[in-house]
Amino acid sequence: MSFVNICRDNNDPFYRYKMPLIISKIEGRGNGIRTAIMNTSDVARALSRPPVYIIKFFGFELGAQTSINEADDRYHVNGSHDSPKLQDLLDGFITKFVLCKACKNPETDIIVQKDGSLFRDCKACGKRTSIDLKHKLASYIAKNPPSTAKQGKKKAAATASANTGAADLNDEVNGSGSKSPADHNSDDEFSRFKAEASGINVNDRDDGWAADLSAEAVKARQKENEQSLSNLKLDDEDSDNAKFDEFGEWVADEDAEHNDVDIYKKAIDLGIAKKHRTVQVLAQTLFTEDIVDEIEEHAGLLKKLVTGEKHQKALLGGIERFVGLTHAELIPKIPKILHALYDEEILEEEIIISWGSKASKKYVDKDISKKVRKAAKPFIEWLEQAESESESESE
């Protein structure tokens, strides 16, 4: 998957706001021809806008009917439209409904006033800039405002957090870097995005179970997860749980703004930077519902802490608890999560295959463990097939 700057007029190589290029597919023929936008959700997540806004914008601009199935993550626009054309239209959407008029920063939220007027609230410069109500999408947004529910503690990390590399962490912690304090305060200096990432066709739909997303169920899972930070019995030589409790609570503090360097320094200060249990606690507290994107952003920190087989297994255990106990709606995304960790060379192929071969009640109960591994099956089969082909070639 290729990535480009959200503001494509910005040619700065260190510009940290990225989005995937639109991938489209022409379906049908004759009067029934239509265009499927295959990665609408990924693009929408990068822009922090609901996928339906993008599809509706395309429909209004092209004068075409649209088909939206959010449950199955399927989005269509009637007619034949190639990816470059849709990408150009998306630039118009970004200019009108995403970028701050004052600073051109995409870190904005749409605010709908009682009188129907729309504003972009910029987190970067603090200004509110108006949205042109003449566009048909403005009327749609006024009638269908974005969710105002409180997001996860690092929702903005999908676009704003720096991708701090392992070398940068060393420089920050040891004071050996030659950069000035001003340089270290710049997220742009640490941003690293892949130009290409291999993709796997994985269906995100739930294959036989439904997550209970009621307020009571979510609250119960969160309480269980919080208790687990102090109650887990792991085969760790350090029996003092207080340090791990402190670390987990510190990372999970929603009112604090901790970057990767801060987190690594905290682990060092507590004397747990080399402990595998630290990785498990981090997996349960570092990520939000946007974990797939956040793995790339925190790859430097994870590589610094995950130094052996035990650490990799602890990371998988933490991920298992994260999706199994507090974010059951993410279980179908396990293949993408594993692929991101594998792609960043944080998890090794053998460890993932071994983990997926047998359910375990070490981190969660066996039923949840089975569900997580069932969801992971497409990616594990892909790894096994690749390994088999590699062995055949070597013979």
Distance CA 304, CA 274 (A): 9
In degrees, rounded to 5, the angle at the alpha carbon of residue 266 between the alpha carbons of residues 261 and 271 is: 125
Burial of 248 (0-12, 13-18, 19+ CB in 10 A): buried
* 304 HSE (CA, 13 A, CB side): 25
Average pLDDT for consecutive 10-residue bins of the chain (395 residues)? Answer: 83 84 91 92 94 95 93 92 94 94 92 91 90 92 76 38 47 51 40 39 43 60 55 45 85 81 91 92 91 92 93 94 89 93 92 91 89 92 74 54
* pLDDT of 3: 85
Looking at this protein, which amino acid is placed at residue 259?
N
> What are the backbone dihedrals phi and psi of residue 189, each rounded to the nearest 5 degrees, phi first?
-65, -25
CA 9 to chain centre: 25
Task: Say if strands 66-69 and 108-112 run parallel, antiparallel, or are unpaired.
Answer: unpaired
Looking at this protein, which amino acid is placed at residue 379?
F
Q: Give 377-395 as a DSSP string.
A: HHHHHHHHHHHHHHHHHH-
Q: Where are the alpha helices (DSSP H) in 98-148?
A: 136-143
How many other C-beta atoms lie within 10 A of the C-beta of residue 240?
Answer: 11
Instruction: Give the residue from 263, 271, 264 showing the smallest Cα distance to 240.
Output: 271
The token pair at 23 is 């991938």
Which domains does the chain possess? 3-143 (3.30.30.170), 166-197+208-394 (1.25.40.180)
Would you say 275 and 241 are in contact if contact means Cβ atoms under 8 Å apart? Answer: no
Instruction: Give the residue from 252, 194, 193 showing the smallest Cα distance to 225.
Output: 252
Task: Say if strands 24-27 and 18-20 run parallel, antiparallel, or are unpaired.
Answer: unpaired
> What are the backbone dihedrals phi and psi of residue 254, each rounded to the nearest 5 degrees, phi first?
-70, -20
The token pair at 194 is 């892949």
- DSSP structure class, residue 305: H
